Chains A and B, each alone.
Chain A
Amino acid sequence: MAYTKRNDGRKFDEIRPTEAKAGIIKRADGSAYFKMGKTVAYAAVYGPREIHPKFLQNPKEGKLRCYYNMMPFSSVGDRVRPGANRRAKEIAMVTEKAILPVVDLTEFPNSVVDVFIELPQTDAGTRCAGICAASMALADAGIPMKDMVAAVSIGRVDDKLVVDIDYSEESYEDGTVADIPMAVISRTGEISLLQMDGNLSRDDLKKAIEMAKKACSEIDKIQRDTLKKKYEVKK
């Protein structure tokens, strides 16, 4: 049986209901909340601040450091052991590389900007939600940035390409599934993250990239509107 109708009744090119907030963590220099369907990500930015140990300092420019953490009971499966594991470290690394092209830390030599991403509830697409939250939190912290980053995960369920794949689709059993998380720099349309889990034909990949760009421009609008809303004058 082919995949003709999505499990949650969405259109094939529709993202999950998305909600965002900026400046929610008081003690952080910048913070954001990003919710995509049932996936929830919080990002907190601290810094620029002095980096220790000192050998990590770079006298030419500041450093960006990301952390990714799924909370113990965040997913539908078993309890996840808290703390960084191999997967979390890799995702933290790709998040960092997805955001790095837009942040400009040349004004802050020898310093570090720390981005902490916490996921209290997950339903696939966590790295994308994390990148979206982190990009908003960095803007909220007043860090110099050339642009903002939005991310979305495109999936192939059986023979259909779907935007913003969720966990029920990821675990589809009547056919093969592929999952392609992508991060897009909004203004230029450059891709700063492209991973693939599963198989995909060349034509499908091309189509997937186009779908991701379209979905990311929607997400970008949500991100920017949310940031502006923080400073809106309340009447």
Chain B
Amino acid sequence: MGKLLVEDKTIVTPGEELAEGMDFLPAEGTFRDKDKILASRMGLIHIEGRLIKILRLSGRYIPKAGDTIIAKVTNILMSGWTFDINSSYSAMLSVKEAKEFIRRDADLTKYYDIGDYITTSIVKVTSQKLIDVSMKNPSLRKLTGGRIINVNPNKVPRIIGKRGSMVSMIKNATECNIIVGQNGVIWIYGQPENEIIVVNTIKMIEKEAHISGLTERIKTFLEKKTNKKISIEKVE
């Protein structure tokens, strides 16, 4: 008979025994050694039926195809750009994947220069972690003005909230334009004093993401800072 040795939503450390017997299956962040399931990294236990999974709490961004990220141009090549994407590896954008048609002899710095930030989406990640990105989507663009902050990429889902509830609450309260990249890079654009409120709010979410009652606390924080009444959108 299988037996669970840890509770759901607790923190575990590498090598800890999570379950005994063959009734449970090791998923992300766990492995099987004979009849035991063990943790292969530090994180939060998440049990889904028979699957035991460990959600990461720290570590760099793991690039995944389909993610929308914010990237910084680090180098210009013969036929494209390379980007720093706040991950262990850098990403590549080919001229063919740029927004507009670029002639062969064009000066690529006219489109994206070194140090520019863009929003882009990951097309493919190879086994050797070569990352291809694309701009072929009307919502992807170069970012001008505003400010950039970096957060722990594992906290991004909390900053966005259920169906974007958290980020839209911050947007409405501060009248700032916010773009949250899956890689933990956030672009904020608005009135300078409001931008600072957004930065402080995001830092607070990052710090308290794993403690329940987050939305309510963020709401009171924003109300205090902006002197506005905020209503929380109900998400089913």
Contact = CB atoms under 8 A, between A and B. Distances in A.
Interface of A: 29-30, 47-50, 59, 102, 104, 108-111, 139-148, 186-187, 223-224, 227-228, 231, 233
A145 B42 CA distance: 8
A104 B89 CA distance: 17
Nearest to A49: B88
Given A104-B40, A110-B128, A140-B42, A47 B13 contact: no
> Interface size bucket, B side?
20 to 34
A139 B89 contact: no
7 contacts: A108-B88, A110-B128, A140-B58, A142-B43, A142-B154, A227-B11, A231-B57
A143 B41 contact: yes
Contacts of B16: 224
A109 B57 contact: no
Given A29-B58, A142-B57, A109 B42 contact: no
Contacts of A144: 14, 29, 40-41
A187 B15 contact: yes
Contacts of B17: 187
Given A139-B14, A187-B38, A228-B13, 10 more contacts: A49-B88, A102-B15, A109-B127, A110-B129, A140-B42, A140-B58, A147-B14, A223-B13, A224-B13, A231-B210
Interface of B: 11, 13-17, 29, 31, 38, 40-43, 56-60, 88-90, 127-129, 154, 210-211
Chain B interface mostly: loop
Contact of B11 (A47, A109, A110, A231): A231
B210 A102 contact: no
Contact of A141 (B13, B29, B59): B59
Nearest to B62: A107
Contact of B15 (A109, A147, A228, A233): A147
B5 to A, nearest CB: 13
Given A102-B14, A227-B13, A142 B41 contact: yes
